[in-house]
Chains A and B, each alone.
Chain A
């Protein structure tokens, strides 16, 4: 048994053993399970993939004379921002599109530029054009504003992901006879390919399936900088079917994440274009898992062959929400590049970059080993598999 403050003390003294997930698995092979458990203090896990429910809020400061952007219309590089706040606070969502984007009128739309790309440019340090119109008030008389802004001049710029780190996800296939264009990528007809989107054995919530260490307040690597778990994520659904070892067999837990955009890096925040679907932001997240007890250690050792994802038809079953699952497949099979669906061999693609996840885990490991990053005790747990907390469908009604 170890406590987080003991681990932090070891980090301070430069004595903590911090390893990435891959290094953990090699250590177990080399030294055995028991010895590895005794020695390792922290395991770094990570993920990098498109997460549309991302956005930034930022404060541009007051112009002279002042303008009340709240209730007005604002675009950044032509992409609409949400301005339903006070005078100069704005929110830009990753999925926002320029008003004149043809979207899917020319099918499939290319969605080459949107909120996610603006966020990437802002983080990179580019000057961006802010255009606004407002209705004017006695205290905020100005009605028009057109100016370049830069991240270094903003008062606050904060990344806020209301859903990230999905604990497992669907494998998307297409049973129809036409190609389809989805948030899971291009799916060729008649089971032409199968796409998945998870870092599997590297994925933070798959390494801590019962949310023993990850909770509200957990300090993390976010987009190249430092962030925190702000809350559980939207669509959090912990009570799905699990394996004997507690690994969810369906999309389950999610996290809401927050962090200072000014410390982030566009290598780990990338505007994303999904043909026929829309724009998004790919976000790099790294989460340290402190080895506090043997149960946490056992869970963090999970391998791809122990994690199973549901195969779902995105031509009919997903859009119609039939709930039908065509089968289950392990991440080991998915990573091999070929799976069997309905007796057919299907090639797999992945939207989540395992290469980037490994890079992030190794950066976070270095931060901790060098005493630049300390672990936090969670402030509050997120609802777990015994909570009864569920992701509910919409009940449409007019009364």
Chain B
């Protein structure tokens, strides 16, 4: 199974080696989709994790136990269809092509599976159609 999560590292954990243990001790493979340290020196890491369900659970328990806050990604960014005017100004900004134009209907489609919750569409949408649901 494959899952996407957002990890928030408090300031005190930013310089500690932590996620490597997901591979070493919990047999999980991960792909880093996004990594940043914000001005408050907290780290944000967006990972796609692959492995057995039981290992995934243990791995996440470990992250929680050391103080990493875990946020599931699947329900993160949402599109308000009533607010969207289908202009498509968001399309070239999306780093993972989660927003694309349907060439038949000319509607802008949001493919949630591809979204890594980077948030650029939320800032860039002139109609406040994209938002984050926590």
Contacts and interface: CB of A to CB of B under 8 A. Distances in A.
Contact of A50 (B90, B106, B126): B126
Contacts of A188: 92-93
User: By DSSP majority rule, is chain B's interface helix, strand, loop, or mixed?
Assistant: loop
Contacts of A347: 91-92
Interface stretch (B25-33, B80-88, B110-118): B80-88
Interface in A299-348: 337, 346-348
A286 interface: no
B18 interface: no
A358 interface: yes
Given A50-B126, A185-B126, A186-B124, A356 B85 contact: yes
A349 B127 contact: no
B89 interface: yes
Contact of B85 (A185, A270, A358): A270
Given A282-B85, A353-B85, A353-B86, A273 B126 contact: yes
B38 to A, nearest CB: 15
Interface in B89-130: 89-93, 101, 105-107, 120, 123-124, 126-128
Contact of B123 (A49, A186, A351): A186
B126 A349 contact: no
B85 A349 contact: no
A130 interface: no
A193 B93 contact: yes
A275 B124 contact: yes
A112 B128 contact: yes
Interface residues of B, number: 19
A337 B87 contact: no
A192 B88 CA distance: 16
Contacts of B87: 49, 349-353, 355-356
Given A186-B93, A348-B92, A349-B91, A355 B86 contact: yes
B107 A195 contact: no
A48 interface: yes
A366 B130 CA distance: 32
B106 A354 contact: yes
B127 A272 contact: yes
Given A110-B123, A282-B126, A349 B86 contact: no
B126 A274 contact: yes
Given A193-B93, A355-B106, A355-B107, A350 B88 contact: yes
Given A48-B85, A356-B87, 5 more contacts: A186-B123, A192-B92, A347-B92, A349-B93, A351-B87
22 contacts: A48-B85, A110-B123, A112-B128, A193-B92, A193-B93, A195-B89, A272-B126, A273-B128, A275-B124, A337-B92, A349-B90, A349-B93, A351-B87, A351-B126, A352-B87, A353-B87, A354-B86, A354-B106, A355-B85, A355-B105, A355-B107, A356-B85
